[in-house]
Structure 1
């Protein structure tokens, strides 16, 4: 149980400097910033453990417990948001893209955002539902290609592998060593593995297309 206690913090004078401080002293931010403060305290805490207590500052409205809880729940998603943008920037390398127009850039970011979400979804599924079928995270052609590549065989199994097996194999394509103490593959290994898998899928489709040639 958590106790949410919003209260108005009034106005804070922000005298922060942005950018290098040795070039332009006029870049101080002198405007008042109106904020609300939300006090959050764990009740009751586990026996023998000090309660978790936050004080969050926000420029959004938080005048009652409902609005305070809403803002706190948004803040609790912060780490997942950090993970998403780390995947988008480090894994999908979105910052390295050099396109000519904003329209092209928007389309590329949209596509890679879908991939970043899919990779995050895979890791969560592997952690929460490891024995679920991998068709929850991979298409039929993807898991079949992945199985044939990892097992070095053209003979498919009767049933799809589990999510845990598929995620482990996908990580191995990206350099994951699958040592006992390593746990699940990380986002970077999954991203590299997913790129390799897509190339393999194209080849798999060509080789299994009876109309080809």
Structure 2
């Protein structure tokens, strides 16, 4: 009953929830090289259309640590309108969300030393390149064989480039794919993308300068699709080292795929929400999104990371620290492997506690998002009990 009243309270809004989450993210971005990844996921499909959620999250560019939520937008798609939308201004198109995500990244992460916004092929939009905020770089996987200012085509220009370098990449197993080591070759060059003809008179420049980076697998195993990414970026690419750095940056996009898994069937199961009224439904999904980001922060922080340890307050309130320490004291065993190896107050310390509460023994494997979610829920339940019964959190 309380959650129903909360979701239907007019004073509670999706906008305010997202604003509070973004405010916390903004503080963590100060002085950092920040990567903002944006993507869209389906909430409920209705035969050609449905309800969708567009999300942007911030990562630390140095170690991939998730800094927090940047933006969230709810969308409704209708089938059969593609032709009608084609000639419309970008502000009237659903694809405008990619431009809004970049603008929000520039605003939320304004204190960062550098901001790079990453998108998959849906973000391959000429307006996004031409109208990007001055304070951000873009990195997008190309979807369209665009015309070039010199009359050529993008894909042919990439194919004609000489190899600049080769390297090996360990690929984890995936659906229909065995783990393997792939041999990759990289090419790069500068390119001038021509404005699409249908956008004449739209106030856009005739061409925009981009760096193109092409990475493709050499001799993929029989029956396995070869890796081939065509990447467009505004970041400078002067040599092969810069090109591989762009490839590594694009690979961080995996973080948002993991977030969506936690948000959906492998975690909060937002696809199973049966609330028909969009206002309370969107509030519930927004709350789940904020929580899913916290769970993924715990997963990333479980080993301590290659860089400086993130603070526990990335996920928990400072008042929660005594509760985490009390749980840790109960969960630790006598052997060294049963001890929490991380310093108090760190995110890694809190992740160890959540993992143990979620069923991880401390001996085998690494705790994933499902285990971490269960432990996080245990902490939230304990906090509610403390608040309801009026006990002090340090007891």
Q: How high is the TM-score relative to the length of structure 1?
A: 0.61
Bigger share in strand: 2
Contact 1:130 1:163 in 2 (8 A): no
Partner of 2:365: 182
Q: 1:82 aligns with which of 252, 257, 280?
A: 257
SS at match of 2:166: coil
Q: Distance in 1 between matches of 2:282 and 2:374?
A: 23
- Alignment correspondent of 1:27: none
| Counterparts of 1:167 and 1:111, CA distance in 2 | 20
Query: Structure 1 residues 191 and 130, CA, compared in 2 at 3 Å: closer, same or farther?
Result: farther
Answer yes or no: is the 8 Å Cα contact 1:42–1:53 preserved in 2: yes
1:58 corresponds in structure 2 to none
Shift of 1:63: 7.3
Deviations 1:101-129 (A, max 9, x none): 11222111111111111111222234425
Q: Distance in 2 between matches of 1:111 and 1:51?
A: 41
Match for 1:122 among 298, 302, 314?
Answer: 298
Q: Which has the higher helix share?
A: 1
**Corresponding residue of 2:347:** 163
Give the corresponding residue for 1:26: none
| Gap change, CA 1:52 and 1:110, over 3 Å in 2 | farther
Preserved CA contact (<8 Å) 2:311 2:345: yes
| Equivalent position of 2:232 in the other structure | 69
- Of 312, 324, 344, the residue aligned with 1:134 is 312
Q: CA deviation at 1:131?
A: 4.2
The reply on whether 1:35 has 2:211 as its aligned counterpart is no
Whether the 8 Å contact between 2:259 and 2:296 is mirrored in structure 1 is yes
Aligned length: 167
Paired position in structure 2 for 1:51: 184
1:152–1:207 Cα change, 3 Å:
farther
Q: Offset of 1:85 from its aligned partner?
A: 0.7
Q: Structure 1 residues 43 and 116, CA, compared in 2 at 3 Å: closer, same or farther?
A: farther
- Is the alpha carbon distance of 1:76 and 1:150 closer, same or farther for their aligned partners in structure 2, counting shifts above 3 Å? closer
Deviations, residues 130-164 of structure 1 (Å, cap 9, x unaligned): 744423332123332222133239xxxxx844322
Q: 2:322 pairs with 119, 144, 165, which one? A: 144
Q: Which runs of 5+ in 2 are unaligned?
A: 1-46, 49-82, 84-142, 146-153, 169-181, 188-195, 197-206, 213-230, 235-245, 332-342
SS in 2 for 1:92: coil
> Are the structure 2 counterparts of residues 167 and 199 from structure 1 closer, same or farther at C-alpha, using a change threshold of 3 Å?
same
Matching of residues 15-30 of structure 1 within 5 Å = none
Deviation of residue 173 (structure 1)?
0.9
- In structure 2, the partner of 1:57 is none
> Which one has a bigger Cα radius of gyration?
1
Shift of the alpha carbon at 1:166? 1.5
Contact 2:263 2:289 (8 Å CA) reproduced = yes
Structure 1 residue aligned with 2:44? none
